[in-house]
Amino acid sequence: MGLFEGKKGLVLGVANEFSIAWAVAKRLLDEGAEVGFTHLPGEKMERRVRRLTDPIQARYVVPCDVQKDDDVANAFAGAFQTLGPLDFALHSIAYAPMDDLKSPYVNCSRDGFKMAMEISVYSLTIAARHAAKAMPQGGSIVTLTYFGGEKVVPGYNLMGVCKAALDASVKYLAYDLGPQNIRVNAVSAGPVKTLAASAVGDSDKLAGLYEAVSPMRRNITRDEVGAAAMFLLSNLASGITGEILHVDCGYNTMGSPGRALEAA
């Protein structure tokens, strides 16, 4: 019997088959979960996502723009109505306007900053609020973050500041929702080729750096991120909340590039 037999939840952030959210969803499905999905509104987005969710006969697939309060509220209320009480929610969403993302952080615009923070950080807060209403028996919420919120990763710019705020949100949300038996954690993933990653400057060079520097001398796979998120969403992690779990082949533990420096 799968770990998620009889469990239900909502996954926010599938754009295509390369999305981290899809890797997590696949793991959840393999373990017997019933998974609902949200996608960015628009015909093209819906078509891309339905190409993945139709074959698995997902019962709940709805548009949701996290910039709209009603969209988020309706997504969770509808999931509750269609699927019943939820056990888990995955938040796998980030965005910053290209000009602001590509420029040094010191130059990011006020509007770009607001938009990036709203979509990449506030979306977790509002999602957690509505998820909690759909989890009367408690549950688990997981988001996706990156090391660039803890230390400076050149090229990550504005998104690094968003991830720092996201990491802090995970801890405050864990505190707020803990009494309702709702856990909130993050997976901090190493570089994975996705739509969002292609917007970040030098993403290929970054992958090379992980291969050279991380203790395991390789990059992570999408499926490894999926497995770790699935673990945090499951009852196996029942005592874990407010945690940032690094899935990066150990890259974050390094204080210097080690042998990679000698080879350079």
Residues that bind ligand NAD (CB under 6 A): 13-15, 19-21, 40, 64-67, 92-95, 119, 144-146, 189, 191-192, 194-197
Round to whole Å and give the CA distance between 134 and 154: 39
Given 146, 172, 175, 251, the catalytic residue: 146
Residue 142 marked in a binding site: no
Name the residue nearer to ligand NAD (CB basis): 94 or 230.
94
Q: Which residues contact 68 (CB under 8 A, 6 or more apart)?
A: none
Nearest approach, Cβ of 249 to ligand NAD (angstroms)?
Answer: 13
| Comparison of 1 and 54: residue with beta carbon closer to ligand NAD | 54
Amino acid at 261: L
As measured in angstroms, the least distance from the Cβ of 161 to ligand NAD is 13
Q: In what side-by-side order are the strands of the sheet with 139-145?
A: 61-63, 34-39, 8-12, 88-91, 139-145, 182-189, 244-247
Closest CA to 197 of 20, 10, 54, 14: 20
Residue among 152 and 195 whose Cβ is closer to ligand NAD: 195
Amino acid at 24: V
Active site residue 156: yes
Which helix (H) or strand (E) is 226 found in, with range?
A: helix 222-233
Nearer to ligand NAD among residue 14 and residue 237 (C-beta): 14
Kindly state the tokens that stand for 170.
């995970």
Was 66 annotated as part of a binding site?
Answer: yes
CB of 18 to ligand NAD, least distance (A): 6
How far is the CA of 43 from the CAs of 62, 64, 69, 72, 74, in angstroms?
12, 13, 21, 19, 19
- Report the nearest approach of ligand NAD to the CB of residue 185 (Å): 14
Is 163 annotated as ligand-binding?
A: yes
Looking at beta carbons only, is 83 or 245 nearer to ligand NAD?
Answer: 245
Is position 196 annotated in a ligand binding site?
yes
- Residue 214: DSSP 8-state: S
On whether the CB atoms of residues 141 and 88 are closer than 8 A, the answer is yes
Contact 199, 101 (CB under 8 A): yes
Nearest to 182 by CA among 86, 263, 39: 86
Q: Is 95 a catalytic residue?
A: no
Is 184 annotated to bind ligand? no
Least CB distance to ligand NAD at residue 181 (A): 25
72 annotated as ligand-binding: no
Catalytic residue among 60, 95, 156, 251: 156
Q: Which residues are catalytic?
A: 146, 156
Known binding residues for NAD(+): 13, 19-20, 65-66, 93, 163, 192-196
Known binding residues: 13, 19-20, 65-66, 93, 96, 163, 192-196
Known binding residues for substrate: 96
